[in-house]
């Protein structure tokens, strides 16, 4: 039964307006930080916020510009400063990629990204945001990478602006130390934005501001994707699509935990894709599910898609009536707000466990963290996932036990005779036999070649992949070549049938298969 869109109107109205109040300073700050301007940030929040709410799979989610995506866009704007028109076609194409990911049901894969990867990535993003705000905080003009920004700040420190520094410090004090009783009513970023702007205007401070925000509707920008720039645009688009999808679905998980509901991952990706495609056509900054704004919406009473729509309508009203005032917002104030955002993104939960965390998890987290800061965001996630997989495979492989045992270890006394004992060995495999542990089989071949019969006991194997089957084939083929009889014990007929289909049927017959130790011993004695 579908929920009436107006069934929670009062709660959705409160949630949408509150989320919009939170979104306003962040959208402006992220727009300026991206290099596309405050207008791009606001348009992104409005368009994606509305369309993702309508077409997405998480009713309570509020979408808009976020730190990770802003960092990607800022790096693209910096690297392709001579060709800035690339960014909006890239955002358009990223929306298409997100829709494709949703159609092919890739959304569920978010559950397979290891926590240390997410932790290192988010902490790295937090550090990047903080580093990129050092120059605006000091009133120094700069455009470049986080590390270059730190170097620039040190190099040009004597040229800092006292007015900018004072406003930034004032902003930091407000966003970090405002009493909770007040911030429950008015979010601290909005308080900082108002007080910082009023202070700058009242004292006529010499600081840079975000500049004019258009009050008219944006013009449509048709995506210009051609063969000349496709090689540049596609990698950027994939990066944005993957990162935006991860960020959105992580926020969806947060929403699920708060509302005790279940989001639709693939539908959410389609909604985000539609939103970003349309936003790019109006010069909007790429956006995704925003955790803080979503949490505020839910806590304020938002329960349906209407809350996200109201959030966007509220931002439209702000542009229509308060744009001239918003144009006077100092960049130093936005820098202070973003530093708070960067600090809040860092994963302190994992950091508190650094001394006792498993060494492999710590290695993955630190590597992802460093690659995120010094190189590439998606490369960091890719390296983290691959390294986690390799370390996990190595750990599982160490738990796989391949050992030789004598026939007397499984036979009853009345079965045993001296010739039988001296010429029969059992290769016992216990655990998960896969590509990471299959080499252990090959390492034991020389130990069993001198026997007349070798029983390969696979009854305790929990699972096998094709690498394991091929390793088993090589073992059987080698033993057959030495005239050694092979009997394989399986724990059930389904695994036996599957293994035979993959190639073992060519090497052994029905008499070489057993389903218990007793059956294997009886087969040897009756040969």
pLDDT tens for 289-307 read 988 788 878 887 889 999 9
Q: What proportion of the chain, given as a percentage, has pLDDT over 70?
A: 93
Q: Residue 2's pLDDT is what?
A: 53
Which of 18-22, 95-99, 155-159 is modeled with the greatest confidence?
A: 95-99
CA pair distance 92, 52, nearest whole angstrom: 15
As a whole number of Å, the end-to-end CA separation of the chain is 67
Which of 118-127, 144-153, 250-259, 501-510 has the weakest average pLDDT?
501-510
How many other C-beta atoms lie within 10 A of the C-beta of residue 359? 8
Which of 114-128, 213-227, 230-244, 247-261 is modeled with the greatest confidence?
A: 230-244
Residues 173-183 have a mean pLDDT of 89
pLDDT value at 338 more than 50: yes
Residues 367-376 have a mean pLDDT of 87
Residues ≥6 apart with Cβ < 8 Å to 450: none
∠132-136-142 over CA atoms, to 5°?
Answer: 70
pLDDT value at 493 more than 90: no
Integer angstrom CA distances of residue 56 from 68, 275, 308, 396? 20, 9, 11, 38
Residues 195-207 have a mean pLDDT of 92
pLDDT value at 206 more than 80: yes
CA pair distance 137, 342, nearest whole angstrom: 14
| 396-450: pLDDT as tens digits | 778 778 887 766 655 555 445 566 666 788 888 887 777 777 777 777 777 777 7
Q: Residue 248's pLDDT is what?
A: 92
Q: For residue 270, which of 478, 96, 73, 423 has the smallest C-alpha distance?
A: 96
Which of 184-198, 373-387, 405-419 has the weakest average pLDDT?
405-419
Give residue 94's pLDDT band: very low, low, confident or very high (50, 70, 90).
very high
Which carries the bigger pLDDT value, residue 186 or residue 57? 57
Which carries the bigger pLDDT value, residue 152 or residue 167? 167
Q: Residue 315's pLDDT is what?
A: 92
Q: Which residues of 304-319 are buried (b: 16+ CB within 10 A; e: fewer)?
A: bbbbbbbbbbbbeebb
pLDDT value at 365 more than 90: yes
Q: Residue 54's pLDDT is what?
A: 96
Instruction: Assess contact for 337 and 133: CB atoms under 8 A.
Output: no
Q: Residue 168's pLDDT is what?
A: 94
Residues ≥6 apart with Cβ < 8 Å to 11: 300, 301, 302, 303, 307
Q: Which long-range contacts (CB under 8 A, 24 or more apart) does 247-250 make?
A: 247/66, 247/68, 247/69, 247/288, 247/289, 248/52, 248/61, 248/63, 248/272, 248/288, 248/289, 249/107, 249/110, 249/289, 250/110, 250/118, 250/289, 250/291
- 400-525 folds as Transcription Regulator spoIIAA (3.30.750)
Residues 221-234 have a mean pLDDT of 79
Which carries the bigger pLDDT value, residue 216 or residue 346? 346
pLDDT value at 157 more than 80: yes
Which of 267-276, 405-414, 464-473 is modeled with the greatest confidence?
A: 267-276
Q: For residue 245, which of 52, 25, 76, 420 has the smallest C-alpha distance?
A: 52
Q: Residue 1's pLDDT is what?
A: 41
Q: For residue 509, which of 476, 483, 482 has the smallest C-alpha distance?
A: 476
What is the chain's mean pLDDT, rounded?
A: 84
Q: Where are the domains of the chain?
A: 9-348, 400-525
pLDDT value at 122 more than 50: yes
Q: Residue 410's pLDDT is what?
A: 57
Residues 80-108 have a mean pLDDT of 88
pLDDT value at 119 more than 80: yes
Q: Residue 44's pLDDT is what?
A: 95
CA dihedral 473, 476, 481, 483 (to 10 degrees): -160
Q: For residue 365, which of 374, 357, 376 has the smallest C-alpha distance?
A: 357
Distinct helix (H) and strand (E) counts, the chain: 23, 7
Which carries the bigger pLDDT value, residue 278 or residue 467? 278
Strands 63-64 and 288-289: antiparallel
Q: Residue 364's pLDDT is what?
A: 93
Residues 13-22 have a mean pLDDT of 84
| 27-70: pLDDT as tens digits | 988 898 888 888 899 999 999 999 999 999 999 999 999 888 88
pLDDT value at 197 more than 50: yes
Residues 513-518 have a mean pLDDT of 82
pLDDT value at 99 more than 50: yes
Instruction: Assess contact for 488 and 519: CB atoms under 8 A.
Output: no
């Amino acid at each position: 039964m579908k929920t009436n869109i107006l069934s929670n109107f009062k709660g959705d109205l409160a949630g949408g307006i509150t989320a919009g109040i939170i979104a306003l300073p962040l959208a402006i700050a992220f727009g300026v930080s991206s290099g596309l301007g405050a207008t791009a940030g606001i348009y992104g929040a409005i368009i994606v916020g509305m369309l993702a709410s309508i077409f997405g799979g998480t009713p309570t989610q509020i979408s808009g510009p976020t730190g990770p995506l802003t960092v990607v866009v800022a790096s693209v704007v910096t690297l392709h400063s001579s060709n800035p028109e690339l960014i909006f076609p890239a955002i358009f194409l990223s929306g298409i990629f997100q829709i494709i990911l949703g159609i092919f049901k890739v959304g569920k894969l978010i559950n397979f990204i290891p926590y240390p990867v997410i932790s290192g990535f988010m902490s790295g993003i937090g550090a990047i945001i903080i580093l990129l705000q050092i120059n605006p905080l000091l009133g120094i003009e700069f455009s470049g990478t986080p590390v270059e920004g730190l170097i620039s700040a040190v190099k040009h420190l004597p040229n800092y602006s006292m007015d900018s520094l004072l406003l930034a410090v004032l902003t930091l004090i407000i966003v970090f130390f405002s009493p909770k009783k007040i911030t429950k009513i008015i979010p601290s970023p909005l308080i900082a934005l108002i007080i910082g702007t009023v202070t700058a205007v009242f004292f006529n401070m010499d600081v840079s501001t975000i500049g004019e925000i258009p009050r008219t509707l944006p013009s449509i920008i048709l995506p210009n994707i051609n063969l000349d720039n496709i090689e540049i645009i596609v990698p950027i688009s994939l990066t944005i699509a993957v990162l935006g999808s991860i960020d959105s679905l992580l926020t969806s998980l947060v929403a699920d935990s708060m509302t005790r509901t279940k989001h639709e991952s693939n539908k959410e990706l389609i909604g985000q894709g539609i939103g970003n495609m349309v936003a790019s056509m109006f010069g909007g900054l790429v956006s995704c599910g925003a955790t803080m704004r979503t949490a505020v919406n839910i806590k304020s009473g938002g329960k349906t898609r209407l809350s996200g729509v109201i959030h966007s309508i509220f931002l439209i009203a702000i542009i229509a009536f308060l744009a001239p005032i918003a144009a006077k917002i100092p960049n130093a104030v936005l820098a202070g707000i973003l530093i708070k955002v960067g600090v809040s993104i860092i994963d302190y939960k994992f950091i508190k466990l650094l001394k006792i965390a498993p060494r492999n998890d710590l290695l993955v987290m630190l590597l992802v963290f460093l690659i995120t800061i010094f190189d590439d965001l998606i490369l960091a996630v890719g390296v983290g996932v691959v390294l986690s997989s390799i370390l996990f495979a190595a750990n599982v492989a160490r738990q796989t036990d391949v050992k030789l045992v004598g026939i007397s270890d499984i036979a009853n006394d009345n079965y045993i005779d001296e010739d039988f004992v001296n010429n029969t060995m059992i290769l016992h495999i216990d655990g998960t036999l896969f590509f990471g542990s299959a080499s252990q089989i090959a390492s034991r071949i020389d130990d069993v070649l001198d026997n007349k019969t070798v029983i390969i006991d696979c009854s305790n194997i929990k699972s096998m992949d094709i690498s394991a089957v091929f390793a088993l084939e090589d073992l059987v083929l080698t033993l057959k070549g030495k005239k050694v009889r092979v009997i394989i014990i399986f724990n059930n007929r389904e695994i036996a049938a599957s293994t035979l289909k993959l190639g073992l049927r060519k090497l052994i017959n029905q008499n070489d298969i057993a389903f218990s130790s007793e059956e294997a011993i009886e087969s040897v004695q009756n040969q």
